[in-house]
Amino acid sequence: MERHLSVVAVGGGPANLAFAVAVEEMAPDLAGETLLVERHDDIAWQRGMLLPWTVSQVSFLKDLATLRNPRSRYSFVNYLHSTGRLDGFVNLGSAVPFRLEVSAYLQWVAKSLERVQVEYGRAVTAIEPLSSRDDGVLDRWRVRFDTGEVVRCRDVVIGIGRAPRVPAPFRDLPEERVLHSTAFAGRLPLLDPQAVRRVVVIGGAQSAAEMLWTMYQRFPAAECRMLMRSAGLRCYESSAFTNELYYPSFVDQFHAGSAEARAQLLQEMHRTNYAGLAPGMLDALYRQMYQDRLTGTERITMRTLTDVLDARTDGDEVVLTVHDRLRATTEEIRADLVLLGTGFEPEKPELIRRTAAAVGVRDVAVDRNYRLVTPDSVTAGCYLQGVNEESHGIADSLISVLAVRAGEMVTDLLAHRATRPALAATAAADGGPIRGEDA
C-alpha cells in the first residue's frame, strides 16, 4: 500500500532540518503533509567526526532559522534556554559551539517539530517520476524505501550529502584496516590499542589532522604518520572580507555571474573551506611535535609532497607504496591501520543522478531557488541541497546559508503550487480529466 503525501525530504541533516523548520513557520498546512526521512536511527551532525573536543567553525547565530527568522523558536539560543545551558554558553565567551552541542541542537529541533513527520531507519532506494494525468505530464514522484514501503508525493527535497572519497589504491582493502573519516568516531571505540601500533593518516586537511591528533592521544604506544600531497599543513585562509562571500545575500551575485567568473571565484575560495586547518588545531599539533622532539619521544611524523601509488595487505599489515616527489624516491610503508581524510566525491550523489536521469536530465543543474531544471513535461518538483557550489557558491554545502536557503525553497515550492489551478483549468479545457491531489 502506498502512502500519499505532499513533500518528502530525504536526509536528516542540517539542510533538510532547516527546510522542515521553514515549512512549519511559513506553510503550516503543507508541513502537515511533509515527511522527513533519515537512514540512521537518530540525528547527528558530522557523525564520523563527532569527537568531544571538536568545535564548529561557524557562529552559533548561523543556525537553522535565525538568519531567516530571528524570532524563531527553533533557534540555537532557544535550544540553550530550553536545556538550561544559556548562561553557561554565554559565560564560555565563544561564538562557536562544540560539535557535540550542534549535533544535540539538531536532535532537539527534530524532536520539537510539531507538524513535519520525522522517521528514522529509512533509506531511500529510488525516486521515480509518475503521471496522474492523461496527457503524460510527470507531476508526481514515487519514493521507494529499503523497507519495501512506497510513498507518493508531489515534491522531493534531497539533502543527503556527497559520497565519501576513497582513492583507488584503498578500495579493495578490508574495512578493518582502512577507515574513512565519515566512520571514524563510530569505529574508534572498537580499535584494540594492542593491535594498533602504526597508524598512517592520508590527507592534509582538518579531518585528517583531527584523526591524527585523536590517535596520538588515545593510543600512547602508536606511531602516527601523516602523508599528504601538499607542501605542508596550512591554516584556513579567512578574514572578515572573505567571510562576506559566505553571506546568504552573496548567492544572488554569484549565481548571476558568468560561468568563468564563478569558476575562478570557487578556485580562489578553495582554501577558505578546504585543504586547510583551524588555527587551534595547527597550533596544538606543532606544539606537541616540538615538545616530543624536546623530550626525545617523537611519535608524529609528516611526509609532504607524497603520493600513494599502491596499497595491499600482507597478513595483518597494510603495505603502502609511496612516491616522494621532492626526492624522486619510492618506498614501502607498513601500517596496522590507515585513516582516510580524503574528503568527498565531487560528483552528484548517485540518488540524484538516477532521479534526474529518470526524467531525461543528463547534466544536473538547479535554478536560482534550487529546483532541479527539468523538461517542460515534468511539473513534479525536485530540490537539491548542498551540491550546487558551481552555481550558488562555496557556501552551498555549509551551514552559513541553510536558514535563508530553506526559506527560498519553501517560497518557490508554494509559488509552483499556486499555478496548479491554472494547469488544471487548461487540462479541463482540453477535455482531460481533473484529478485529485492524491491521484
For the chain, the first-to-last Cα distance in angstroms comes to 14
Domain that holds residue 146: 2-163+345-429
- Cα 322 from chain centroid (whole Å): 30
Summarised one tens digit per residue, pLDDT across range 173-191 is 999 999 999 999 999 999 9
Supply the pLDDT for residue 374.
Answer: 97
> Is pLDDT of 425 > 50?
no
Task: Confirm whether 80 is domain-assigned.
Answer: yes
pLDDT(426) > 50: no
What is residue 435's predicted lDDT score, i.e. its pLDDT?
Answer: 35
Is the domain of 6 the same as that of 51?
A: yes
CB 279 within 8 A of CB 235: yes
Q: Are 141 and 130 in contact (CB under 8 A)?
A: yes
Is 357 domain-assigned? yes
Residue whose grid cell is 572578515: 240
- Domain with residue 7: its CATH number is 3.50.50.60
**Lookup: cell for 245:** 562571500
Same domain, 332 and 366: no
> Look-up: residue for cell 536526509?
11
- In angstroms, the CA 268 to CA 351 distance is 30
Rounded CA-CA distance 337/341 in Å is 13
Q: What crossing angle do the helices spanning 420-429 and 402-418 adopt, rounded to 10°?
A: 30
User: Which position has the grid cell 539560543?
Assistant: 77
**Strand ranges (DSSP E) for 43-169?**
117-120, 124-130, 140-145, 150-153, 155-158
Q: Where are the alpha helices (DSSP H) in 70-192?
A: 76-82, 86-92, 99-112, 184-187
Whether the CB-CB separation of 292 and 224 falls below 8 Å is answered with no
Res. 1: pLDDT tops 90 = no
Q: Are residues 62 and 143 in the same domain?
A: yes
Q: Are residues 356 and 336 in the same domain?
A: no
pLDDT in tens, 196-205: 999 999 999 9
pLDDT at 430 (0 to 100) = 38
357 and 325 within one domain = no
Residues 370 and 336 grouped into a single domain: no
Judgement on whether residues 305 and 361 belong to the same structural domain of the protein: no
Among 287, 320, 340, identify where a domain stops: 340
In a domain, 263, yes or no: no
SS3 3: strand
186 and 157, same structural domain? no
Q: Is residue 269 part of a domain?
A: no
CA-atom Rg of the chain in angstroms: 24
- Does residue 51 form part of some domain? yes
CA distance 86 to 13: 24
| Neighbour-count burial of 294, counting CB atoms closer than 10 A to its CB (0-12 exposed, 13-18 middle, 19+ buried) | exposed
pLDDT value of residue 419: 81
Region label for 81, one of left (φ > 0), alpha (ψ between -120 and 50) or beta (otherwise): alpha
> What is the rounded average pLDDT for all residues in the chain?
93
> For residues 309 and 286, what is the distance between their CA atoms, to the nearest angstrom?
28
Q: Same domain, yes or no, for 193 and 311?
A: yes
Share of the chain above pLDDT 70, in %: 95
Give the tens place of pLDDT for each residue, 254-312.
Answer: 999 999 999 999 998 887 888 889 999 999 999 999 999 999 999 999 999 999 999 99
Three-state DSSP at 130 gives strand
- Residue 362 falls within a domain, yes or no? yes
CA distance 321 to 338: 13
**pLDDT at residue number 60:** 97
Q: Are residues 98 and 189 both part of a single domain?
A: no
Q: What is the pLDDT of residues 212-236, one digit of tens each?
A: 999 999 999 999 999 999 999 999 8
The answer as to whether 266 is a domain residue is: no
Starting at the edge strand that comes first in sequence, how are the strands of the sheet with 306-314 ordered? 306-314, 317-324, 329-335
| DSSP structural state of residue 256 | H
Do 194 and 298 lie in one domain? The reply is yes
Between the alpha carbon of residue 81 and those of residues 51, 76, 302, 370, the distances in Å are 24, 9, 44, 33
Same domain (yes/no): 9, 30? yes
Residue matched to cell numbers 578553495: 270
Domain boundary among 305, 340, 375: 340
Question: Structurally, how many domains does the chain consist of?
Answer: 2
Instruction: Give CA separation, 256 vs 110, 308, 368, 412, 415, in Å.
Output: 34, 40, 9, 18, 21
What integer is the mean pLDDT of 8-16?
Answer: 98
